[in-house]
Structure 1
Amino acid sequence: MMLKNEAGRASACRNPKPGVVMHAEPPPSRWSSDRFGEGAVPVRRAVAEAVLEAIENARDAQGSSGTDKQHPFGFTLMARKFETLGRSFTDMPGVTTIRPTGSMHELTVVSGNLLFPFEFAKDRSTNVMKAQIGGTAKVSGLLKILFRRFGPEPSMVQLALDTGDDGETRRLEAVATSLARLPEGTRLVLIAYACNSQAGLLELWWGEAELLDEHGRIRWVHCEEIPFRKAPPSGGQLPGTGSGPGDLPSSPKFDEGPMPTPPLNARPAVEVKNQDAFPPRTETETPTQGVADDEGH
């Protein structure tokens, strides 16, 4: 699907329908192969697992907090989404981490691609093509610098970094200096997800975009969906199987019991010779037993 922006440039977005969870892992796209080479599929898989883990950690924090307020979920996810990404690529070659000056989080760089995860929605009502980065607040100076240094060639005038505040200007200069050790050609890869504390991960996308304004509106240059697995119920068992914690054992089916063994006893020779006096019996006779009535008598 090709989308046109105001300047008439084309933006590609593969599989733009939201909310479709792909269970069979598709081959890598041309874009992901260009960015990550032969490691495109393992990188994509690691990104999905990292985001899933961060969201499940946040859901656990929310569940154990005992409050209806969403602060435990939000604060946990804010930190864990960066931590799980970094840990997912620990043993992969060509991976570095960097903590920009003044930032609480380490950013992960894989094969020259700086990964930046962000939440664009809490449900499926928002199309990823209308995603905003940075939430409802204005975008931070760090995000402006990341887009300016590592984002795609902008089609519009870039946002100014000069705030008019000497202290803030010096802080942004320090941030830019701390990022200068990343090699030339490093690209910013955005990881956009929709989630909430009840349903978990709903959508997961990645690609490249340019920052349009102070409110975090972006224009995707490329955007594609990342397939991910649905987290299993607690204990890793499907509900109703009788194998997970808290499940009752299922009742045996009528054909799961032991097969009866019919009595096969050889007849005495005298009965065989005198069949008129000893006719053959086809079933074993059992004595009649009394059956209690409904009142237990």
Structure 2
Amino acid sequence: MLVSQWAHDTFGQRVPLIRQGVAEALSVALENARDAQKVAQTDHLHPFGFTLMSRKFEALAEAFEDMGDVQVVKPGGSQHELVVVDGKLLFPFRYAKDRSLSVMSARIGDGRPSALVQALFNRFGPEPRMRQLALHDVAPHVAPVAEALADLPEDTSLVLIAYACNAHAGLLDAWWGEAELLDRTGSLRWHHCEEIPLAKEASAAYSSTLSITFDQGDMPTPALNTRTGAERLTTPVSEAAPADGAASTRAEAASGE
């Protein structure tokens, strides 16, 4: 897979290595969640959801623990540790349970983004192309969380990792990029978004020669997909999104799928 200019500007020559690590971490987290669901021997999907909610952060930390410039931080009030690779804070979230929703219509949060998510966007998100929500407009408890992130350098940038999955099919696809938080429902405006090869494709991408492109070009299609990444990206943003397709760590825990 070719390396975009955004990816090269963000992670330098290590793009294939970091992209492979992200893909493998997501795959590990999903398999752990599916194993938990199987062991639980219940039709309720809580074991899958709770395991995935924690393991997606832990697996990322494990994937990059041997890198010298990796920082793992645990903000006050958060149950999860966040991974910062070379000044880039990696934040994974599930945007859909199936392939019916375009990643361009993804939302982050279950109806309302958490205080942590709001603080991350306010402090480390890209310069907004629209009016950014003031802290008091979003939630009164964001400021204390933002203070808990004060130890991170001001030039830290937020890299979103959006993925679709469910307990039956596992990991369907994954994307990364930068976006701004638009409103209280968790709607995003992507500044850049590109597909991540799934773990079984990442090894081939990593072994290939680094090649830089200056635009996104055609996106590769993961083997599991019946629709190409390009087709999903061209889905109109105004298309009505299924209520159960929005990303949410709380929804993962509650419904699991």
Q: Which residues of structure 2 form unaligned runs of 5+?
A: 202-257
2:164–2:171 contact (8 Å) kept in structure 1? yes
Counterpart amino acid of 2:31? E
1:195–1:201 contact (8 Å) kept in structure 2? yes
Alignment correspondent of 1:142: 116
What is the aligned counterpart of 2:125 among 124, 127, 151? 151
Residue 163 (structure 1) shift: 6.8
Alignment correspondent of 1:94: 69
Alignment correspondent of 2:104: 129
> 1-side partners of 2:4 and 2:171: how far apart?
22
Of structures 1 and 2, the larger Rg is shown by 1
Residue 230 (structure 1) shift: 4.8
1:64-103 matched pairs, under 5 angstroms: 64-103=39-78
Bigger helix fraction: 2
> 1-side partners of 2:95 and 2:200: how far apart?
19
Alignment correspondent of 1:185: 155
Q: Which residues of structure 1 form unaligned runs of 5+?
A: 1-25, 232-297
Alignment correspondent of 2:252: none
The two structures have a TM-score, normalised by structure 1, of 0.65
Task: Output one character per residue of 1:224-262: Cα deviation in whole Å (capped at 9) or x when no partner.
Answer: 00001359xxxxxxxxxxxxxxxxxxxxxxxxxxxxxxx
Alignment correspondent of 2:34: 59
1:1-297 matched pairs, under 5 angstroms: 26-134=1-109, 136-162=110-136, 169=140, 171-230=141-200
Aligned residues: 201
1:144–1:159 contact (8 Å) kept in structure 2? no
1:133–1:139 contact (8 Å) kept in structure 2? yes
- Give the secondary-structure state (helix, strand or coil) at the position aligned to 1:68: coil
> 2-side partners of 1:174 and 1:139: how far apart?
15
> 1-side partners of 2:199 and 2:75: how far apart?
32
Counterpart amino acid of 1:104? Q
> 2-side partners of 1:163 and 1:192: how far apart?
25
1:112–1:185 contact (8 Å) kept in structure 2? yes
CA RMSD, 1 decimal: 1.7
> 2-side partners of 1:230 and 1:100: how far apart?
33
- Give the secondary-structure state (helix, strand or coil) at the position aligned to 1:202: strand
Identity %: 58
2:93–2:162 contact (8 Å) kept in structure 1? yes
Alignment correspondent of 1:241: none
> 2-side partners of 1:160 and 1:65: how far apart?
43
Residue 93 (structure 1) shift: 2.0
The two structures have a TM-score, normalised by structure 2, of 0.75
> 1-side partners of 2:188 and 2:112: how far apart?
13
1:35–1:111 contact (8 Å) kept in structure 2? no
